[in-house]
């Protein structure tokens, strides 16, 4: 039976570290601030934004929310980002995705000052991650690495398989594993015989967005299985990309959903905001 890597516990440690460092900055007259922009009334986005606000309060980071209407224009949004880029009270800027259809996501993300880009989506930061010389890491992949380290799992020399190739998780995840000397294979929707590849993984990261996609017959005995998925099942309950019950019988370590990667994503955002304050 797999050992469960508890994301809530690891996230609590990260938050405590951030809280202590924020106190030190405050003692030197430096405040830390995060601006969150939400456009429209996507219910899931609203939940995420409320959680981020709560997290900021917990660690002493000022949270500035900019809730814009569904019909906000590209120029209005870009003007706001420009204003926040120049605002000394704002150390980090986060634009909650997805954006309404009339807005150009790429142009919006590119408009954020790279030193305030706490999501690490700006091409400058993506390039820095590519060469291994970075200030910020995307929150979810960095959270996954934190979970792996918390269980004292050595990535070096291991065969790491990442399912999913998104810019937000799959691609940066593979680079972080590579930076720690893992041998990395990326699988995606066009991969043939996917289970043949996943069965070779010492460390398997599922970030495909399909409920219970990874089944026990796709997992090697003793593998480390990290579930990044956040899906709703037929009953409306949160579940991952991994069939948890069957896979936990074969894996050596596994992350649950909820309570695994999710809390880590939020904790790393706080750490990135702190890093941004230090840089500035």
Q: What confidence tens digit (pLDDT) does each residue in 63-84 have? A: 999 999 999 999 999 999 999 9
- Please indicate whether residue 133 is annotated as part of the active site: no
3-state SS assignment for residue 270: helix
Active-site position among 113, 119, 241, 243: 119
Long-range contacts of 228-232 (CB under 8 A, 24+ apart): 228/140, 228/144, 228/164, 228/169, 228/173, 228/261, 229/257, 230/257, 230/262
- pLDDT given at position 118: 98
Contact indicator for 229, 166 with CB cutoff of 8 Å: no
Distance CA 280, CA 276 (A): 6
Query: For position 44, what pLDDT does the model report?
Result: 85
Find the catalytic residue in 15, 52, 171, 250.
52
Per-residue pLDDT reduced to its tens digit, 168-206:
999 999 999 999 999 999 999 999 999 999 999 999 999
What distance in Å separates the CA atoms of residue 42 and residue 54, rounded to the nearest whole number?
A: 19
Q: How many residues does the chain have?
A: 280
What's the mean pLDDT in 246-266?
Answer: 97
CB 40 within 8 A of CB 69: yes
Mean pLDDT of 200-216: 97
Q: Which domains does the chain have, with CATH numbers?
A: 30-119 (3.40.50.10860), 139-262 (3.40.50.720)
**What mean pLDDT comes out for the span 221-234?**
95
Q: Is position 96 annotated as part of the catalytic site? A: yes
């Amino acid at each position: 039976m797999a050992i469960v890597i508890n994301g809530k516990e690891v996230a609590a440690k990260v938050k405590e570290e951030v809280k202590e460092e924020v106190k030190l900055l405050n003692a030197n007259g430096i405040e830390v601030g995060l601006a969150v922009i939400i456009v429209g009334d996507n219910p899931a986005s609203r939940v995420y934004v409320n959680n981020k606000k709560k997290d900021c309060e917990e660690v002493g980071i000022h949270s500035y929310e900019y809730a814009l209407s569904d019909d906000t224009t590209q120029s209005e949004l870009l003007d706001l980002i420009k204003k926040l880029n120049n605002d000394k009270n704002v150390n980090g800027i986060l634009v909650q995705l997805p954006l309404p259809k009339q807005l150009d996501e790429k142009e919006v993300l590119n408009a954020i000052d790279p030193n305030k880009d706490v999501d690490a989506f700006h091409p400058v930061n993506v390039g820095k991650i590519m060469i291994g010389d970075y200030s910020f890491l995307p929150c979810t992949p960095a959270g996954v690495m934190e979970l792996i380290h918390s269980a004292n799992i050595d990535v070096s020399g291991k065969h790491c398989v990442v399912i999913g190739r998104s810019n937000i998780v799959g691609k940066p995840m593979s680079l972080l594993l590579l930076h720690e000397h893992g041998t990395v294979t990326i699988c995606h929707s066009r991969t043939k015989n996917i289970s043949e590849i996943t069965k070779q993984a010492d460390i398997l990261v599922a970030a495909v967005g399909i409920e219970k996609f990874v089944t026990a017959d796709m997992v090697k005995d003793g593998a480390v299985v990290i579930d990044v998925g956040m899906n709703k099942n037929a009953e409306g309950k949160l579940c991952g990309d991994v069939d948890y019950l069957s896979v936990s019988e074969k894996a050596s370590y596994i992350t649950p959903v909820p309570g695994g990667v999710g809390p880590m994503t939020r904790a790393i955002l706080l750490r990135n905001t702190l890093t941004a304050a230090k840089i500035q």
